[in-house]
Structure 1
Amino acid sequence: MTRVLLIEDDRDLAETLLQLMEFENMVPDYASNGVAGLTLAQSNRYDILVIDIGLPKMNGLTLCEQLRQEGCQTPILFLTARGSIDDKLAGFASGGDDYLSKPFDNRELLARIMVLSGRRSSQTPLIKVADLSLDNSAYQVFRGEHHVKLTPASFTILELLMRASPKVISREELEDALWGEDAPNSNTLKAHIYYLRRSLEQVPGPKLLHTVPGKGWVIKED
């Protein structure tokens, strides 16, 4: 069964979502504020965290940042009434994997939860391209001796690109790997790619992530 932690201060919405999750044979826990949610996330093992951004006591972005700093790699899906590209970038930068704007279709929420909670890799754990190395078992990325900090979604994108290198990976392939058949609008993937490129280029070295117009993206040396 999928264990879900829902952190949402709208009690009516939370009750509806909890009933929906239970109907789908999920095992949900619930917190109505950020501090209580943080305590539950630190004390229990979940397959996914579903977090509202506008929470009392501790907002969702701060909660996510603290969990990531503590080493928590559980997928995080943000729920929020704010849906601009800047809001999404802030969510991804804090460590979130996905972003669903209110109001949303409950079927889409369930699909996102199942895709994120089931995302795992059983392939060879260590991959190298040029000075870039990715260790799936330790969940770490390095450029040379420099550690590269990534969100879980950006980590997944990088792993797909590195395993395929020097082959180009299309938008459709990346969206399918991240969200299955329920991919959000194109801005969401663009935001993840932007964050990944910025993270890689903060470390000195040749450009490795390339956009191939009309085809997709590739990881390779110039």
Structure 2
Amino acid sequence: MENNKCTVLVVEDTHDIATQLCDFLEGKAFIVDYAETGGQAIQLAAQNRYDVIILDLMLPDIDGTQVCKHIKQTSDTAIPILMLTARDSIEHKVQGFGVGADDYLTKPFVLEEVYLRCVALTKRHRLHKSKVIELGDLKINVSTKEVERQNRAITLSTKDFQILSLLAEAYPSAVSKRELVEKVWGSDAPETDAVRSHMYTLRNAIDKPFATSMIKTVHGIGFRLVV
């Protein structure tokens, strides 16, 4: 990715944090816009095209979750949103993901991590915009929900497709088991080890019929795709 073509909107009402974020990202050759309120963020998101939005959850006028929900519902480009918050509970994260947040970072954070997450979200977004994700001999059509490997059609359940799509969008990074649960099941998190069960059926469909495996377990972290 060419960083000088990456545009980001920083939405943060704490001046010191906003200044640090903007200065750091501009130093990485990002083009940065800034909004202090939710209302300003909604207006800027409607007027401009951003590769990613960094959105504080606690804003003076509109709650960050409502800003996220509005932008996701009205944008025609599915802008990735990275939420920043002092809240670290699973309930708040589920709430954020439930309204469309793509990633979550708890304060205090390291500026370099914000940058790396922005880069990852932008890469995923550009893959996703094409509507077809191709990784090696694996092809995923996110619009029609069709999957092929080596030109052979593969039938997946809805949740298996969601899990595979998350792994593909995160490539080459790993996706944690916790993130899979939050994004696939949301507030209806299963009581049993459903992720393990779905990974088993997914591997049977994606890996078992072929000479090489694409789904790898990353010990202590989660799962990722390899090409």
TM-score, length-scaled by structure 2? 0.65
**Aligned-residue identity in percent:** 29
Specify which of 59, 63, 69 is matched with residue 59 of structure 1. Answer: 63
The alignment partner of 1:58 has SS state of coil
Q: How many residues align?
A: 180
**Letter of the aligned partner of 1:69 in structure 2?**
Q
CA–CA distance in structure 2, aligned partners of residues 68 and 121 of structure 1: 18
**Letter of the aligned partner of 1:194 in structure 2?**
W
**C-alpha spacing 1:42/1:217, structure 2 compared with 1 (3 Å):** farther
The alignment partner of 1:118 has SS state of helix
The alignment partner of 2:39 has SS state of helix
**C-alpha spacing 1:101/1:186, structure 2 compared with 1 (3 Å):** farther
Write the deviation string for residues 139-181 of structure 1: whole angstroms up to 9, x where unpaired: x57xxxxxxxxxxxxxxxxx6x945645889x89955742754
Runs of 4+ in 1 over 4 A off after TM superposition: 122-127, 161-169, 171-176, 183-186, 214-217
What is the CA-CA distance between 1:64 and the residue it aligns to? 1.0
CA–CA distance in structure 2, aligned partners of residues 195 and 89 of structure 1: 6
Write the deviation string for residues 111-136 of structure 1: whole angstroms up to 9, x where unpaired: 10001012133898479xxxxxx964
CA–CA distance in structure 2, aligned partners of residues 216 and 97 of structure 1: 25
Does the alignment pair 1:178 with 2:162?
A: no
**C-alpha spacing 1:217/1:190, structure 2 compared with 1 (3 Å):** farther
- The equivalent of 1:17 in structure 2 is 21
Task: Report the structure number with the largest CA radius of gyration.
Answer: 2
| Contact 2:181/2:195 (8 A) holds in 1 | no
**C-alpha spacing 1:125/1:176, structure 2 compared with 1 (3 Å):** closer
Does the alignment pair 1:91 with 2:83?
A: no
The alignment partner of 2:93 has SS state of helix
What is the CA-CA distance between 1:186 and the residue it aligns to? 4.2
Unaligned ranges ≥5, structure 2: 134-139, 206-227
**Letter of the aligned partner of 1:52 in structure 2?**
D
- The equivalent of 1:187 in structure 2 is 178
- The equivalent of 1:28 in structure 2 is 32
What is the CA-CA distance between 1:59 and the residue it aligns to? 1.4
**Letter of the aligned partner of 2:170 in structure 1?**
L
Unaligned ranges ≥5, structure 1: 128-133, 142-158, 199-209
**C-alpha spacing 1:135/1:186, structure 2 compared with 1 (3 Å):** closer
The alignment partner of 1:218 has SS state of helix
Write the deviation string for residues 4-56 of structure 1: whole angstroms up to 9, x where unpaired: 00000110000001010011000000011101111111111111111001011
| Contact 2:86/2:106 (8 A) holds in 1 | yes
CA–CA distance in structure 2, aligned partners of residues 42 and 123 of structure 1: 18
